[in-house]
Amino acid sequence: MFKKEFSFELVTQDGSARLGKINSPRGIIDTPAFMPVGTQGTVKGVFTDDILKTNTQVILGNTYHLLLRPGINKLKQFGGLHEYMNWKKPILTDSGGYQIMSLSKFNKIDIKLGAIFKSHLDGKKIILSPEKSIQVQKAINSDILMVLDECPKLTKDKKILSNSIIVSTEWAKRSKIEFGSNRQKGLFGIIQGGLYKDLRIESINKLIEIGFDGYAMGGLAVGEKQSDMFKILNETTKFLPENKPRYLMGVGTPSDILGAVKEGIDMFDCVMPTRSGRTGLAFTWEGKLNLKNSKFQNDKKPLDEKCDIKELSKYSKSYLNHLIKSDEMLASMLISLNNLIFYQQFMLEIRNNIRNGTFHNFYKKYIKFFN
């Protein structure tokens, strides 16, 4: 039975790989965990009931996009995003910090005011302060909230990265004050510092001094080499509290996840399963399959013979190839669902192997399998 307060329990370790549980009033999140991305209150192309059937325990929503539409008032009217989108399990919300980077041409930074956006929808001025970000996340009724941070683009410029730490630390303090005291929800700090060990440790120490329910690695998976990402995780996760969950934001491919779990990361999110599904790319235990390829035109086998969710085992690769070539939206829906199922199966196998002390063998078998 899950607990009424937000908490984290480290169950066991295999090397640096960690098996744990996040407790929240809306349910347990077994870690390592993958969170499908529902940026605007929907995991694209997949019904909520089907997401549940994949054994997904938590999804991600985005503060910036939900602020624009449907907006705070509508979310408050419905009692939050859970009721609005018919999702009863936990929701984690990004703070809008990633959009500071991804929509940089539409915003500027003021450490006192926050991020000043020109809406990409209608051009209206939007000020997303640390306080506003938390207020929006409260209206969403998130179970795990993120502090507002400045996520810089990939750079080797230490001055830019140091300034990002200054801004992000100040905003983290203000976010925590606005969050207040609520033991039913979690507030995560976000670490910056690029690929520099000393800057990452500086950011970690400043956030630990403030004190959070979990710690996220921001500013990674922004274009650096996978090996560089693994290296900085290896050098810095050991400085994080053992009794708090660790979240690598915006990651990623199965091999990204596997390599980061090896370095002690507990939580992941990425648009990869559904975005790939919309382009005809399927993730399976056979590897990645580009179903656009002509070699699948006469393939009578399904993507997963054992899958009975939406009777996916009854759809051949030939049929999926036909749907893609015919530009039918059903192709995106079926392949996206398949990918979510695979990702959650993959996370389950990771957890089982950590529990059994066989993670290293699993890692060696699959680390390059999906590249």
CATH 3.20.20.105 is the classification of domain 7-270: yes
Instruction: For residue 334, give the H/E element and its range.
Output: helix 329-356
Token pair recorded at residue 330: 């059903």
Residues classed as catalytic: 94, 269
Residues 84-107 have pLDDT tens digits of: 999 999 999 999 888 877 787 778
Report the C-alpha gap between 267 and 40 in whole angstroms. Answer: 20
371 has pLDDT over 80: no
Instruction: For residue 128, give the H/E element and its range.
Output: strand 125-128
Residues 205-225 have pLDDT tens digits of: 999 999 999 999 999 999 999
246 confidence band (pLDDT: 50, 70, 90): very high
1 has pLDDT over 60: no
Put residue 327 in one of left, alpha, beta given phi > 0 → left and psi -120 to 50 → alpha.
left
Residues 110-153 have pLDDT tens digits of: 999 999 988 888 888 999 999 999 999 999 999 999 999 999 99
Mean pLDDT of the 196-202 span = 98
Closest C-alpha among 314, 312, 356, 359 to residue 337: 312
Per the confidence metrics, is the pTM higher than 0.75?
Answer: yes
Where exactly are the structural domains of the chain? 7-270, 271-358
Which phi and psi (to 5°) does residue 204 adopt? -60, -50
Percent of the chain at pLDDT > 90 equals 92
Mean pLDDT of the 283-290 span = 96
Residues 5-53 have pLDDT tens digits of: 999 999 999 999 999 999 999 999 999 999 999 999 999 999 999 999 9
Mean pLDDT of the 262-269 span = 98
- So what's the pLDDT on residue 3? 63
Residue 346, SS3 per DSSP? helix
Residues 166-188 have pLDDT tens digits of: 999 999 999 999 999 999 999 99
Mean pLDDT of the chain, nearest integer: 96
DSSP-derived letter for residue 121 is T
- So what's the pLDDT on residue 33? 99
Mean pLDDT of the 52-60 span = 98
Asked if 229 and 220 count as a contact pair (C-beta separation under 8 A), the reply is yes
DSSP-derived letter for residue 32 is S
- So what's the pLDDT on residue 363? 98
Task: State how far the alpha carbon of 13 is from the alpha carbons of 265, 358, 359, 364, in Å.
Answer: 11, 11, 10, 17
